[in-house]
Structure 1
Amino acid sequence: MDDLEIFQRLGIALAIGLLFGLERGRHQRDKSEGDRIAGVRTFAIAGLLGGVNGWVASLTAAVVLAGAFLGLSVLLGVSYWLRLKKDDDVGLTTEIALLLAFSLGAASVLGNMPAAAAVAVITAFLLSMKKRLHRWVARIKRLELEAFLKLGLLSIVILPILPDQGYGPGAALNPYQIWWAVVLVAGLSFFGYAAIRLGGARLGLLMTGLFGGLASSTSTTLALARLVRVETDLVSHAAAGVVIAGSVTFLRILMLVAVFHSSLVVPLAIPMSVMAGFGLAGAGFLWFPARGVEEGQERLEGLENPLELSAALAFGALLAAVLLAVHTLRTWMGSSGVYAAAALSGVTDVDALTISMAKLVGDDMATTNGATAIFIAAAVNTVVKAGISFAVGGSALGLRVGLVYASVITAGAVSLWLFGLGG
């Protein structure tokens, strides 16, 4: 390194320390000067100390840097022990931040400067988020924490050990690919569920519909229909939420086909986008005339945690059943058998059919047949949600949702014919 580069790297080390010091100084601004653990100057020196020791280590041996880090750790350990004797409720965040400032200062001299700076910014951001993070943690239920850990179990532990080869009739069942689909759908569902839990009722029924569509548009429809039974004044708000949830489903279908077979995106992009567009426009038409009505604050209990292992296994079994059904019906009846399987699948779940079609297209099925089957499943599923709105929410909700969904399906069918098939 030449002199200019050394000064640049040491400058980054100093800047990292100053960044940490500004955040910690603001955090401890209400304490008197003698009671503060470390402020701007201490953190700036710690960052610069790491940079200087990294520089010296590059000229001599790595043991120099290791010794300096050990010495700083011992010093901070003694400081923490002395404070612990005065106060039995003492945190370690500032001490750890000092060690990290030292380490990032050394990394900025010895390694990648942009990476060290990026880690410093992210760390400072996390330090500044203390109260908000604590509020979020306080709102997490035990079952939700377990659900997050189960997602890790599904994706990190189970997925890598599954065989990536086909079994059964027509080699239709690939354990690895089926479980990867389970992980993807469960992850999307959990994201939507977590967004609703974090946002709460104060975000309103529109946001509930948006994130509920990621979690489960059918469950969201059922939850909002039940709400209308209690809060009849919210029928227009609830109808808009239901339609938004259904519209998100069409975008979710595009996301799944993009992951599992990108060639399906071309024939489905316009029809699914048109259906989502008509749905969102219909939701706006339902919402704006009633936007002045006070929103209910009841928590929507119809959406349950989607990451129970039983739910994941059930979806995996459903996906396997759909794959076998599509293969069997296609063998017996050709394309019409595929469409029959799509209609049956759409009654319960559109994700399983979407993924199964994406796996078959290109191998032994035409792209247009796969796109048509996915559209049929989406249309049937949309009709089912309109029926739920009628049966559970009553005619006021059902008519609003049904009229919008009728236009959605019609527009989707026309666009599929013109652009997906005829184009």
Structure 2
Amino acid sequence: MEQTDLLSRLGVALAIGLLVGLERGWSQRGHEDHRRAAGFRTFALSGLLGGVAALISASTGGVVLGLIFVAYAGVFAAFHWLEATADQDVSVTSVIAGLLTFLLGALAVLGDIGVSVAGAVAMTALLAFREQLHRWVKTLTWAEISSVLILLAMTFLLLPLLPNRTIDPWGAINPYEVWLLTILIAAVSFVGYVAVKIFGDRMGILLAAAFGGLASSTATTLALARMSKDRPESGRLLSAGILLAGVVMMARVAGITLLLNAPLASQIIGPIAAAGAVLGLCAFLLTLGHGGPTDPLTTTRNPLAIDTALKLGAVIVAVMLAAGYLRTVLGSAGVVLVAAVSGIVDADALTISMAHMGGNGVELRVAAQAILVGVAVNTVTKAVLAFAVGDRGLGLTVAAASLAALAAGLGVALMAA
């Protein structure tokens, strides 16, 4: 290790200690200096000590680093115990922070500087936002905590166990992708719940709709429609959110097509723009007419909606099987019919497929028809979901706006034909 690199790494180790020490010193600024076990200077020296210990161990062996760390931990813990006894404080946070400062200083010398700095910043942030984090934890409900745990288990325990390949004779069902879509549906529901709880009705619902629409407008529709059962007074805003998710879906379809097949995009952009404009206008008018509360969400209903996600996942499997069977039996002659069936679930896969096939085995006109039919069916599906899952007013509002959008899109398509 060159001298310049060595000095810079020791400087980073010292800087890590200074950063943590700054926060610790500021948080304990009301204490008298001689009554604190560790302050600004002690943490700064702890980071530098870790760096020096790592440097020594580089030439003498890792055992030396371990011994120095054990000695440091013993001294630090002993002085903190004296402070805790005098102040009757049982918090161990400063001890953990001191040990981490030493280890991050050592990592800055022996390992990746970026990782050590990132760890120091993360630790300092956790220490600095202590009060905010404690207040936030007190606002959580068991339903919210259990929802996060279930979502994490679905993602990191069950998903890796599923085969990432098709398992049916028609090459339609990929268990990994189906379960991933089920996770997405549940996650969109949870994100919508959190957004409304934090930001209130107006901003929370619209944010959830916009970002949820980027992932899955169908899942977003399901989540917002379900929310209308708990908050019927927010039906107009929830309807606007569903329509906004539809606008995002249409913009996504147009963008994907334009990126992959510009000639094909020129044939679908008119009808999609017309339909999207009508949905957007309806959503805007609904937000203007919103008179419901803007307080944070207080419902205790399970925010994850895992049962609904599983039911929709089963429907997705059935639709994908039907689409795969029709594709195998009808071939290219059944492109539009397959698109109609596929559109029940999602428009993205269909759009990507047609963008690749348009002009290469499938006529551009037929590919454009397939995309437009898929988008239309997906729009109708969301209206049906809103009517079936949400309250009556939301269902009627979404259905009326969707029919108006489809009529506008059809009109433009007929004029262009």
Q: Same fold (TM over 0.5)?
A: yes
What displacement does 1:245 show?
4.0
Contact 1:342 1:376 in 2 (8 A): no
2:191 is matched with: 191
**Residue type at the aligned position of 1:217:** T
1:216 is matched with: 220
Distance 1:251 1:29 in 2: 54
What displacement does 1:382 show?
4.5
- 1:297-312 residue pairs with structure 2 within 5 A? 297=295, 299=297, 301=299, 304-306=302-304, 308=306, 310-312=307-309
Q: What's the CA shift string for 1:144-166, capped at 9, x where partnerless?
A: 22222222222222222223443
Q: CA RMSD in A?
A: 4.5
Which deviates more, 18-27 or 379-388? 379-388
- Alpha carbons of structure 1 residues 118 and 297: separation in structure 2 relative to 1, 3 Å: closer
- Alpha carbons of structure 1 residues 62 and 112: separation in structure 2 relative to 1, 3 Å: same
Distance 1:42 1:152 in 2: 39
Distance 1:417 1:58 in 2: 77
- Percent identity reads 32
Distance 1:412 1:375 in 2: 12
Q: What's the CA shift string for 1:24-59, capped at 9, x where partnerless?
A: 122222333344342211111111111111111223
1:36 is matched with: 36
SS at match of 1:350: coil
- Alpha carbons of structure 1 residues 201 and 29: separation in structure 2 relative to 1, 3 Å: farther
Distance 2:220 2:23 in 1: 40
Pair 1:17-2:21 in alignment: no
1:247 is matched with: 247
What displacement does 1:15 show?
0.9
Pair 1:321-2:318 in alignment: yes
Q: What's the CA shift string for 1:283-313, capped at 9, x where partnerless?
A: 335445x58x6844373859852352x4443
Distance 1:102 1:159 in 2: 37
What displacement does 1:142 show?
1.5
Match of residue 350, structure 1, among 317, 320, 345: 345
Contact 1:13 1:106 in 2 (8 A): yes
**Residue type at the aligned position of 2:221:** S
Contact 1:167 1:174 in 2 (8 A): yes
Contact 1:49 1:105 in 2 (8 A): yes
- 1:20-419 residue pairs with structure 2 within 5 A? 20-86=20-86, 89-201=89-201, 203=203, 205-207=205-207, 209-210=209-210, 216-221=220-225, 223-224=227-228, 227=231, 230=233, 235=236, 237=237, 239-250=239-250, 274=273, 279-280=279-280, 282-288=282-288, 295-297=293-295, 299=297, 301=299, 304-306=302-304, 308=306, 310-331=307-328, 350-351=345-346, 368=367, 371-372=371-372, 374-384=374-384, 392-393=392-393, 398=397, 402-403=400-401, 406-407=404-405, 410-411=408-409, 414=412
Distance 1:311 1:201 in 2: 22
- Alpha carbons of structure 1 residues 339 and 192: separation in structure 2 relative to 1, 3 Å: farther
**Residue type at the aligned position of 2:49:** L
- Alpha carbons of structure 1 residues 252 and 306: separation in structure 2 relative to 1, 3 Å: farther
SS at match of 2:125: helix
**Residue type at the aligned position of 1:324:** L
Contact 1:14 1:47 in 2 (8 A): yes
Distance 2:62 2:70 in 1: 13
Unaligned runs of 5+ in 2: none
How many residue pairs are counted as aligned between the two chains? 403
What displacement does 1:322 show?
1.1
Distance 2:25 2:335 in 1: 65
What displacement does 1:324 show?
1.2
Contact 1:190 1:305 in 2 (8 A): yes
Contact 1:386 1:405 in 2 (8 A): no
Distance 1:391 1:180 in 2: 28
What displacement does 1:125 show?
2.0
Contact 2:13 2:105 in 1 (8 A): yes
- Alpha carbons of structure 1 residues 398 and 281: separation in structure 2 relative to 1, 3 Å: closer
- Alpha carbons of structure 1 residues 375 and 105: separation in structure 2 relative to 1, 3 Å: same
- Alpha carbons of structure 1 residues 55 and 208: separation in structure 2 relative to 1, 3 Å: closer
Which deviates more, 13-22 or 61-70? 61-70
- Alpha carbons of structure 1 residues 151 and 299: separation in structure 2 relative to 1, 3 Å: closer
**Residue type at the aligned position of 2:408:** T
What displacement does 1:173 show?
2.6
What displacement does 1:20 show?
0.6
Contact 1:264 1:371 in 2 (8 A): no
- TM-score (normalizing by structure 2): 0.76
- Alpha carbons of structure 1 residues 20 and 240: separation in structure 2 relative to 1, 3 Å: same
Contact 2:340 2:374 in 1 (8 A): no
Q: What's the CA shift string for 1:87-141, capped at 9, x where partnerless?
A: 6652222211111111111111122223322222222222222222223322222
Q: What's the CA shift string for 1:57-76, capped at 9, x where partnerless?
A: 22322222111111121123
Contact 1:224 1:241 in 2 (8 A): no
- Alpha carbons of structure 1 residues 362 and 48: separation in structure 2 relative to 1, 3 Å: same
What displacement does 1:219 show?
3.9
- Alpha carbons of structure 1 residues 370 and 16: separation in structure 2 relative to 1, 3 Å: farther
